[in-house]
Amino acid sequence: MDFGFTEKEKTLRRELQEFAKAELPPDWVIGGYAEEYCTDYKWQVTQQISKKLAERGWLTMAWPKEYGGLDATHTEYLLYREEATYNMLPGTDMGVGGVSWIGQSLILFGTEEQKKKHLPGIAAGETYWCTGYSETEAGSDLASLKLRAVKKGDEYIISGQKVWTSAAHRCSWCWLAVRTDPDAPKHKGISLFLVDLKTPGVTVKPLMNLAGLAENSEVFYDDAHVPADCLVGEENQGWRCIMTALAFERTAGAEHLGRSRRMVDDFVKYARETKRNGKPLSKDPLVRHKLAEFAIECEVGRLMCYSIAWMEDRGLIPGHESSMAKNFCSELGQRLSNAGLGIMGLYGQLGASLNAPIGGMAQTAYLFGVGDTLGGGTSEINRTIIATRGLGLPRG
């Protein structure tokens, strides 16, 4: 079996590397992995990059040509996402999931009118989206959500609250899960809507994360009137749409993988350039062994992610495989950033700054990495999927 890349794929990787060098400002690496929508400056750069990616056709390259894509293979799209993340390119997903799961799900479940209205804006790098799933009492047990939508004429009136909605304070539209039938079994009474966040009655309040940055938001819906044609698919049949979108989302192992590869390379560079007790850290056998282990784990994660893309290119539908890759890559990032802080010592605690080693990337990655095993399904939920669907074990 050939585990190498084709010439076309190698060319795409080189073009992405050159694009990042040419388009990103010199100070972009400060803070490293801080999310692109957390500060006004990063958000401004993000919007500029999105449009330039769109001009090259990269932004929605895996979409069908009729919707603004390039009909690229899943392998090419994965390579793009991995390389873009490694090079810290922002704006590749139009908010959180606009391209990778909201757009792709809309292609499958949306009406022609919905596709014509929303897909061109995403493909052009102009419309940003967030995902409204979690609530104060509905996280891992997502089907327990209570945000209520009641139909009245040609509208739905939505009331309730969402929380931990990533990038909601920057986005203009939300892929929103609501309960439309409170009397139905909890998986049956859920519907999905495309909601304009400028709708009267919708209030977005940013939340600070561990790094002291606005990453997520609370979103309140106080009798917000949403047109009935914003319903995706059939009423009360939204769970299928959610599960499909989550399957797309869990392929985000590519992003975790790209970050981890970059961290390993940056920590190796730091170890070579930094002396302790008169000799480079890279000569310390414990440091060398630890970094070598992580380099190997990155390759393991890469093979897991590319095996999923290989399946998709052959018309196969990955299930528990996506959960395996998501867990492995997100947990790898947490272990790696923790180890990096240990290697760097007190310097690793310095935040985003030109004076901090590797721009404060270690501290930022450590703080942001806490959420990586929560978004898209916690590690525990994914392990349940692996056990029941992959290994055929009974539910506990």
- Mean pLDDT (whole number) for 240-257: 81
- Mean pLDDT (whole number) for 184-212: 94
At residue 1, does pLDDT exceed 70? no
- Mean pLDDT (whole number) for 348-360: 82
Q: Are the C-beta atoms of 16 and 89 separated by less than 8 Å?
A: yes
Q: What pLDDT does residue 254 have?
A: 72
Catalytic-labelled residue, pool 35, 76, 82, 249: 249
249 catalytic? Reply is yes
The domain boundary residue, chosen from 127, 159, 185: 127
Please indicate, yes or no, if residue 395 is contained in any of the structural domains.
Answer: no
Query: Quick one: pLDDT band at residue 322, thresholds 50, 70, 90?
Result: confident
Please state the domain count of the chain: 3
Query: Quick one: pLDDT band at residue 286, thresholds 50, 70, 90?
Result: very high
Please indicate, yes or no, if residue 2 is contained in any of the structural domains.
Answer: no
Q: 369 and 251: one domain?
A: yes
Q: 195 and 102: one domain?
A: no
Query: Quick one: pLDDT band at residue 2, thresholds 50, 70, 90?
Result: low
Write the burial class of residue 39 (CB in 10 Å: 0-12 exposed, 13-18 middle, 19+ buried).
Answer: middle
pLDDT over 90, % of the chain: 69
Q: 174 and 161: one domain?
A: yes
Identify the CA nearest to 372 among candidates 290, 293, 265, 259. Answer: 259
Please indicate whether residue 217 or residue 356 has the higher confidence score (pLDDT): 217
Q: What is the CATH number of the domain that holds 115?
A: 1.10.540.10
Please state, rounded to an integer, the average pLDDT across all residues of the chain. 92
pLDDT in tens, 225-236: 999 999 999 999
**CA distance linking residue 241 with residue 310, whole number of Å:** 23
Q: What pLDDT does residue 35 have?
A: 73
Q: What pLDDT does residue 210 have?
A: 84
Please indicate, yes or no, if residue 180 is contained in any of the structural domains.
Answer: yes
Please indicate, yes or no, if residue 229 is contained in any of the structural domains.
Answer: yes
- Mean pLDDT (whole number) for 257-267: 92
Q: 100 and 14: one domain?
A: yes
At residue 369, does pLDDT exceed 80? yes
**Domain span at residue 190?**
130-236
Q: 116 and 231: one domain?
A: no
CA-angle at 390, arms to 386 and 391, nearest 5°:
100
DSSP reduced 3-state for 108: helix
At residue 26, does pLDDT exceed 90? no
Q: 381 and 252: one domain?
A: yes
Please indicate, yes or no, if residue 94 is contained in any of the structural domains.
Answer: yes
At residue 302, does pLDDT exceed 70? yes
Report the predicted TM-score, pTM, of the whole model to 2 decimal places.
0.91
Q: 138 and 182: one domain?
A: yes
At residue 338, does pLDDT exceed 70? yes
Please indicate whether residue 357 or residue 223 has the higher confidence score (pLDDT): 223
- The residue whose two tokens read 């669907």 is 389
Q: What is the CATH number of the domain that holds 268?
A: 1.20.140.10
- Mean pLDDT (whole number) for 356-363: 85
Please indicate, yes or no, if residue 1 is contained in any of the structural domains.
Answer: no
**CA distance linking residue 196 with residue 369, whole number of Å:** 30
Q: 249 and 195: one domain?
A: no
Q: 42 and 89: one domain?
A: yes
Please indicate, yes or no, if residue 273 is contained in any of the structural domains.
Answer: yes
- Mean pLDDT (whole number) for 28-34: 71
Q: What pLDDT does residue 33 have?
A: 63
Q: 119 and 150: one domain?
A: no
Q: What is the CATH number of the domain that holds 169?
A: 2.40.110.10
Query: Quick one: pLDDT band at residue 252, thresholds 50, 70, 90?
Result: low
At residue 25, does pLDDT exceed 70? yes
What are the helix and strand counts (H, E) for the chain?
11, 10
* Contact residues for 355 (Cβ-Cβ < 8 A; gap 6+): none
The domain boundary residue, chosen from 236, 260, 281: 236
Q: What pLDDT does residue 375 have?
A: 78
Q: 114 and 184: one domain?
A: no
The domain boundary residue, chosen from 94, 127, 160: 127
Q: What pLDDT does residue 139 have?
A: 83
Q: 151 and 268: one domain?
A: no
At residue 269, does pLDDT exceed 90? yes
